[in-house]
Structure 1
């Protein structure tokens, strides 16, 4: 199924407002929403990605959720190219060190230090190659968490390329339920698991939210890692908490520093306490616990 990109161009204030509206309107589905400036001092773009439907469906879908008077910007929609944009974006990327882990491409295999846990990720259409600050920061924190105590039931929510689940499997030799809403991402995550020799540890599942029967069947989890956007994370606070064991550890990333207080408050209301916060390239990683054990 192709990925459909819908974009609206406006000034910065209006684009950010539209982006917030889209996040709220499609919170349940968890479709990725972004807002950005392509050219310095130029117009801004609010963008949402759909993993189903067609470009012709995008505008009616947005208008149905937001209302026809929610904004004046024109909606442009197209099919996101399936290979070239990702391959091009990853060309020339160097290995990334994140604590005990090193994420690398096959052409850099000879650069892997003897004491590093290598995660091989090739150019592919899934968020989370390790080169982004939020993924690298989360990997670094997982290196700490996994060496302080042992875990037996692990969930990677929003697995993307599978890089976090692969790192967990390589370091802790534990089974991981790795899920994502994007079927292309889960296909690539499964391929990356085989590439790294940990396919026996990963169960890769395409699922929206945490309602699929496999979540309940695999629960209670003693470690959950979620590298997704702030608003979906807050909306999932209660469902995630219900799936977790006592004395469990929760690692959250995909967050801007400014998102921290709201996300922490959402999980404190579910009985979690903040253990650590880390920042890498302006991206925030939070480690929380729901018991007395120190992760």
Structure 2
């Protein structure tokens, strides 16, 4: 019997300045043609960031170049480099590129840095995997900064994380607030990964994860969380606004990200028309995090 040749993994690399690097990384991560196994970007220390994407087969260079050009929007970007990796665990390769990320009091790291980290209440181990959310992207990092700030003001009774990915934000909320968190995703793989990460963080009893699309699941209709976190994309955030208004009663908050700085005003206006007011905006690398409240009191939570 003839053995099949080992399957190779391809790595696509380029360099760009912020915020173009963030836009390109997000575009590569979101597109289904070609679908990346993993996307990351990190600081090279010279004003440029390297964007790296891994693929199970050789991607079409022209398709990728067009995608990068649209995301760069005229900003300076180095030429695309496409290379083949040896037959090895691509997740391990991706993890090795990722350094620990500090976001407020939170420190998010991969298992490859476990022995180098001094663990605290705000330390979270998240590996690069088949779900979004390692805090290297500005949207996740911005949400962590916002959660850290909220934890200094008070504690919600119940947190809902919509589109949880790796579960990092639900885990962070459970750790910071010492309160239960419901986490949902429409991808069963992400739900499995989030459960594993919650167990690894020691909050499996506080973080409850299940498959759901948006806020339509019957179990979610009965919930009245006073903090909803949604780090997804501008279009679904826009579409979810009426359901958010029904779910979050006066006194509660929504923390939204996955939107660019240019999209922030329209998103805030959409939620403002449904009874929310903008409490805080964080801008990182061209991405926005919005905290909006439905409240009458002058303090956060009780």
Is the pair's TM-score, using the shorter chain for normalization, greater than 0.5? yes
For 1:165, the equivalent position in structure 2 comes to: 170
1:43 is aligned, of 66, 78, 81, to 66
Cα distance in 2 for residues equivalent to 1:265 and 1:208: 24
Q: How is 1:139-218 mapped onto 2 (pairs within 5 angstroms)?
A: 139-217=144-222
Cα distance in 1 for residues equivalent to 2:122 and 2:65: 42
Is the CA contact 1:102–1:116 (under 8 Å) kept in the aligned structure 2? no
Report how far residue 115 of structure 1 moved.
Answer: 5.4
Query: What do the CA deviations read for 1:49-72 (whole angstroms, capped 9, x no partner)?
Result: xxxxxxxxxxxxxxxxxxxxxxxx
Cα distance in 2 for residues equivalent to 1:179 and 1:230: 18
Are positions 1:92 and 2:115 aligned together? no
For 1:137, the equivalent position in structure 2 comes to: 142
Q: How is 1:1-295 mapped onto 2 (pairs within 5 angstroms)?
A: 42-44=65-67, 86-113=91-118, 117-217=122-222, 219-293=223-297, 294-295=299-300
Query: What do the CA deviations read for 1:219-270 (whole angstroms, capped 9, x no partner)?
Result: 2110011000000000000001101122101110111111101110110011
Report how far residue 114 of structure 1 moved.
Answer: 5.8
**1:34/1:283 Cα in 2 relative to 1: closer, same or farther (>3 Å)?**
farther
Is the CA contact 2:121–2:175 (under 8 Å) kept in the aligned structure 1? no
3-state SS in 1 of match to 2:288: strand
Aligned residue pairs total 227
Cα distance in 1 for residues equivalent to 2:32 and 2:143: 20
Cα distance in 1 for residues equivalent to 2:129 and 2:254: 27
Is the CA contact 1:38–1:44 (under 8 Å) kept in the aligned structure 2? no
Is the CA contact 1:180–1:206 (under 8 Å) kept in the aligned structure 2? yes
**1:103/1:177 Cα in 2 relative to 1: closer, same or farther (>3 Å)?**
same
What is the CA RMSD across the aligned residues, in angstroms?
2.6
For 1:51, the equivalent position in structure 2 comes to: none
For 2:24, the equivalent position in structure 1 comes to: none
Cα distance in 1 for residues equivalent to 2:64 and 2:142: 30
3-state SS in 2 of match to 1:245: coil
Cα distance in 2 for residues equivalent to 1:292 and 1:150: 17
Is the CA contact 1:237–1:270 (under 8 Å) kept in the aligned structure 2? yes
3-state SS in 2 of match to 1:225: strand
**1:38/1:230 Cα in 2 relative to 1: closer, same or farther (>3 Å)?**
farther
**1:85/1:264 Cα in 2 relative to 1: closer, same or farther (>3 Å)?**
farther
Report how far residue 201 of structure 1 moved.
Answer: 0.3
Structure 1 unmatched ranges of 5 or more: 1-31, 47-82
Report how far residue 146 of structure 1 moved.
Answer: 2.1
